[in-house]
Amino acid sequence: MTRKELITQINRKRSFLCVGLDSDPNKIPKHLLDFENPTLEFNKRIIDATKNYCVAYKPNIAFYESMGPKGWETLKATLDYIPKEIFTIADAKRGDIGNTANMYAKTFFETYNFDSVTIAPYMGEDSVTPFLSHPGKWGIVLGLTSNKGAYDFQFSELKTGELLYEKVLKTSSTWGNEDNLMFVVGATKAESLGNIRKLVPDHFLLVPGVGAQGGSLSEVCKYGLNSDCGLLINSSRGILYASNGINFAQASANAAKEIQQEMSEILRTS
């Protein structure tokens, strides 16, 4: 999917919501366990319930590969079920070099036909650029994450005076452009978004951590919006597990719609 196509979807739906399909077999409503593939059935119902309110879906690959071959089959079937106009993200956080990186890119862009994949940039340019050579595909580089461990390394001050995450953003932004490169920035670090926007003013940011992790949508948008919106806000648990009863899909639809309506108002007044 191109940048223009993604922006068109954002404007049409008045939404920049990404639904994380981190489908945990231990949290799937009990009545779905009678199905041959409970995770796939759960995903299909979540997609049916939320597809009018979101512009992206983000399966976390760990929840699928942990199930072995059946998990990969479930991932493929889930991806095939997502409407083609909706942006797809393989949340795989791959990070390796040379032929290995090329094979990871082939896996997610050719075998599974995702629009994008998350990448850990610790090994440098040659671990990222193989993902940027596929037309219409995106690499999403980990920039500043929302977890507690982010403070172990990402805020380390370098001899230049800049923080490590700032160095990562500035350097990696030169490996691609705003048409094929995004960055992950955690919503719980909203106070850093103003500075991040100075470093990468035109790139899209994938922002996890809104909702269950405590991030504020309004704060993220205050510092992170640009002229093209430039944000994909991910919500996983708050939508997936809005209910664990028979009505779980409707509860998920209500949760997604509530976020979309808030986003629509933010877009209207920005």
Residues involved in catalysis: 93
Measured over the CA atoms of residue 110, residue 111, residue 114 and residue 119, the dihedral's sign is negative
CA distance 46 to 78: 11
CA distance 220 to 27: 29
DSSP one-letter code for 193: H
DSSP one-letter code for 158: P
Cβ(91)–Cβ(79) below 8 Å: no
Alpha-carbon 7 to chain mean position: 15
Measured over the CA atoms of residue 30, residue 35, residue 41 and residue 46, the dihedral's sign is negative
CA distance 35 to 20: 22
Measured over the CA atoms of residue 218, residue 222, residue 224 and residue 228, the dihedral's sign is positive
Cβ(16)–Cβ(232) below 8 Å: yes
Burial bucket for residue 12 (CB in 10 Å: 0-12, 13-18, 19+):
exposed
User: Tokens 């899209």, residue?
Assistant: 204
User: Tokens 């500043």, residue?
Assistant: 144
